[in-house]
Amino acid sequence: MLALWLLINLVKDPTEFFSVAVIGLTNGSVYALIALGYTLVYGILQLINFAHGDVFSLGGLLSATVILDAFDLTAASSAVAIVIGVAVSLLIAVAFSSALNTTVELVGYRRLRNAPRLAPLITAVGMSFILQNVGLYFWGPNYTSTDNLIPNSAAFSIGGVDFQWDNLVVILLTMPLLLALTWLVTSTRQGKAMRATSQDPEAAAMMGINVNRTISFTFALAGGLAGAAGLLYVLQFTTIRFDQGFQLGLIAFTAAVLGGIGNLAGAVLGAVIIGLIEAFNEGLEWHAAGSDWTRSIVFGLLIAILVFRPEGLLGERTPEGA
């Protein structure tokens, strides 16, 4: 059914189809960065960090402010100024969001590590609301908007499908981040400590791994990715609001679950799929449900995965089940 619908749309208007796919891929990249944060934290603490989406939106809001107030960038600024400005705001957003996410863990979750499982989960929901209101306090209830810094014009086009600069930049910035993350988790000492802790914190502690520091590091890493996602979101959409993180966070979480929670490659795959689903639903002409229904579709998918294949696309079935 789904495949058929996509195929008909493809045949009817291939240019539109691929243009929409590029948008989906771009959104998927941003989701991937957020989804990775969920998956990293879930992998190590088995905690759904509901506040993660709000770390993302605060990172985005801050980078928008840096772009607007510190660098005063507009669409008319020179390319050099834009590159430097964006690079600096990226660094600031990443540093801020890492610090914020680590603080959230330190203040909110650390004390509850041995509490019943529901306790940190409920705390995470509360944290999310606190962070949203921090955003509301400093940035107000309206959208914070920047100029369109990266032109919407086509960088190149293949067979009538335009690859716009803004999409391209987002994808090109995401790729190295993903590669760096993979390298970090698989090849560094800190990454090995993370994997060991996620498998068995007690055993890891006995092997001389500083579990608290490893968990803090994981939150810092996840927060950093969320901050980067915040900046990319601002570049792509030019507006952001205090309460957008929760929604986007849930969508990203869906992506993480779809791919198999705890699985890094899965999070990326899931994010791309969700990005495409969303773009197709909103962008295609022929019989798409439209943006009014996007959330229902994404959450419907989430429910379906959890009920029918809780281990996700790339996850492994655990021996003892749920």
Partner 1 sequence: MSTARATFTERWRQLPDVVQRLALPALVLLLAILYPWYFGGLPGAFPAVETAVIMLIFTVMALGLNVVVGYAGLLDLGYVAFYAAGAYVAAWLASVQFEQVTFHLGSIGIVDTLPGIHISIWIVLVAAALFTTIVGVLIGLPTLRLRGDYLAIVTLGFGEIVPQVVRNGDDFGGFDLTHGTFGISPIDSIGFGNTLNDTLGLPASYQTSTNRAELFYLTALALLLFTVFCSVRLRDSRLGRAWIAIREDETAAAAMGVPLMRTKTWSYATGAFFGGLAGAFYAVFKSGAFPSDFFFNFSIFILCMVILGGMGSVWGVIVGGLVLSYLDREGLAKVGSFASDVLNRPIDVPKYAFGVYGAIIVAMMLFRPAGMIPEKRHRLEIDEGVESAAVASAEQGGDGRRGDG
> Is 33 within 8 Å of 251 (Cβ atoms)?
no
| Three-state secondary structure call for residue 157 | strand
CA 19, 25, 27, 29: dihedral to nearest 10 degrees?
A: -150
By beta-carbon proximity to partner 1, the closer residue of 17 and 253 is 253
Q: Which amino acid is at 259?
A: G
Binds partner 1 (CB under 8 A): choice among 33, 44, 93, 112? 112
Shortest CB 15 distance to partner 1, Å: 29
Binds partner 1 (CB under 8 A): choice among 2, 141, 142, 202? 141
Of the candidates 254, 276, 283, the one whose C-alpha atom is nearest the C-alpha of residue 266 is 254
Shortest CB 273 distance to partner 1, Å: 17
- Position 307 contacts partner 1 (CB under 8 A): yes
Shortest CB 249 distance to partner 1, Å: 11
- Position 142 contacts partner 1 (CB under 8 A): no
Interface stretch with partner 1, choices 84-92, 128-136, 171-179, 205-213 (CB under 8 A): 128-136
- Position 315 contacts partner 1 (CB under 8 A): no
Of the candidates 267, 227, 224, the one whose C-alpha atom is nearest the C-alpha of residue 39 is 267
User: What is the bridge-based pairing of β-strands 239-240 and 144-145?
Assistant: antiparallel
- How far the first Cα of the chain sits from its last, in Å, is 31
Interface stretch with partner 1, choices 18-26, 171-179, 182-190, 250-258 (CB under 8 A): 250-258
Of residues 197 through 216, those in contact with partner 1 by CB under 8 A are: none
By beta-carbon proximity to partner 1, the closer residue of 108 and 201 is 108
Across 284-304, b (16+ Cβ under 10 Å) vs e yields beeebeeeeebeeebeebbee
Q: CA quadruple 62, 64, 66, 68: dihedral positive or negative?
A: negative
Distance from C-alpha of 39 to C-alpha of 198, rounded to nearest angstrom: 11
By beta-carbon proximity to partner 1, the closer residue of 154 and 304 is 304
Strand runs (DSSP E) across 201-296, as ranges?
Answer: 239-240
Interface stretch with partner 1, choices 26-34, 75-83, 120-128, 199-207 (CB under 8 A): 120-128
Distance from C-alpha of 208 to C-alpha of 223, rounded to nearest angstrom: 25
Shortest CB 290 distance to partner 1, Å: 9
Of residues 49 through 108, those in contact with partner 1 by CB under 8 A are: 108
Interface stretch with partner 1, choices 110-118, 152-160, 207-215, 263-271 (CB under 8 A): 110-118
- Position 130 contacts partner 1 (CB under 8 A): yes
- The contact set with partner 1 (CB under 8 A) reads 46-48, 108, 111-112, 115-123, 125-130, 132-134, 136-137, 141, 246, 250, 253, 257, 292-293, 295-296, 299-300, 302-303, 306-307, 310, 322
